[in-house]
Amino acid sequence: MRALRAMLLGVLAMTAACAQHVEQTPADTSRDVTTQREFDFTLLADRNAFVEHDLAFKTTVGPYGVYEVTGPLPWLDGPLVALPDHGGWSLICGATHFFSNEKSAEAVSLKLWDSNGLGALIEGSPTGPVPFGACTDAKDDYGNPGTSAASSGAATSSGSGTGTGTASSGSRVETPRVAHLAVRIDPPPPVGALVLLIRVAAEIAETGHNGSHEIEKVCCSGDGCSGDGVPK
């Protein structure tokens, strides 16, 4: 009886240890690590690298991928990306506004996130709501992927529709590492809102504009979106 009891206690201890290990593991290590660091949301292969949670891809218009918020916690679970041992800058490029008719809608921030522990690679400048039938411009936001949100605050910078943009300061990446990319929206927009994404990059050589000053306004209504700058 004592031997059986000891065996059962041992099994329980092993189970608890395994559960604790799983809880503390930041990423699924069975997934392949890619060296691709830039992702374009108008390209099917790049969109497929991100698993949708409370977001549904609707269409592309011009350089934008258009996503509809379908639940309370919208985010995109992205790939494991190998970052280089030299410094660089991260990028999230979307629109200056999202579309919603909800009066409760408030400004949000699009974040390129590393779920492996570094936190926000880039936290975009505020993206405010506009009603359906309105139009919006493109926007670039840059940040330093070596800046830890936990120790130094989120790496933020702003680039308006002019496409000029500014880069935030921060410590550079010193050693090779693997980032588990995610796109987060904080706070979550109302269900039914349309959010526009152009591309994200875990590491680019240098900052600068992403051509957003050359992109026509995009306008969205209940009938869809158009990229000619003319409200539908």
CATH code at position 165:
2.60.120.260
Q: Please determine, for residue 11, whether its predicted confidence score (pLDDT) is greater than 50.
A: no
User: Hey, what amino acid is at 142?
Assistant: Y
Q: What does the alpha-carbon distance between residue 190 and residue 169 come to, in Å, rounded to a whole number?
A: 33
Residue 183 banded pLDDT, cuts 50, 70, 90 = very high
Q: Tell me the pLDDT tens digit for each residue of 140-166.
A: 888 765 443 322 233 333 444 333 333
Is pLDDT larger for residue 166 or for residue 41? Answer: 41
Q: Is residue 13 part of a domain?
A: no
Helix (H) or strand (E) holding 152: helix 149-152
Query: How many domains would you assign to the chain?
Result: 1
Q: Is residue 74 part of a domain?
A: yes
Q: Tell me the pLDDT tens digit for each residue of 196-206.
A: 999 999 887 66
Q: Is residue 15 part of a domain?
A: no
| Residue 156 pLDDT | 36
Q: Is residue 23 part of a domain?
A: no
| Residue 223 pLDDT | 84
Q: What is the mean pLDDT of residues 16-33?
A: 47
Residues in the chain: 232
Q: What does the alpha-carbon distance between residue 66 and residue 68 come to, in Å, rounded to a whole number?
A: 7
| Residue 214 pLDDT | 67
Q: Tell me the pLDDT tens digit for each residue of 42-60.
A: 999 999 999 999 999 999 9
Q: What does the alpha-carbon distance between residue 183 and residue 172 come to, in Å, rounded to a whole number?
A: 21
DSSP 3-state assignment of 90?
strand
Q: What does the alpha-carbon distance between residue 168 and residue 141 come to, in Å, rounded to a whole number?
A: 10
**What share of the chain in percent tops pLDDT 90?**
47
Instruction: Report the 10 Å Cβ neighbour count for 157.
Output: 22
**What share of the chain in percent tops pLDDT 70?**
64
Q: Which domain range does residue 78 map to?
A: 33-226
Apex 105 CA angle, 51 and 222, nearest 5? 70
Q: Is residue 140 part of a domain?
A: yes
**Main-chain phi, psi angles of 13, to 5 degrees:** -65, -40
pTM: 0.74
Apex 117 CA angle, 124 and 34, nearest 5? 80
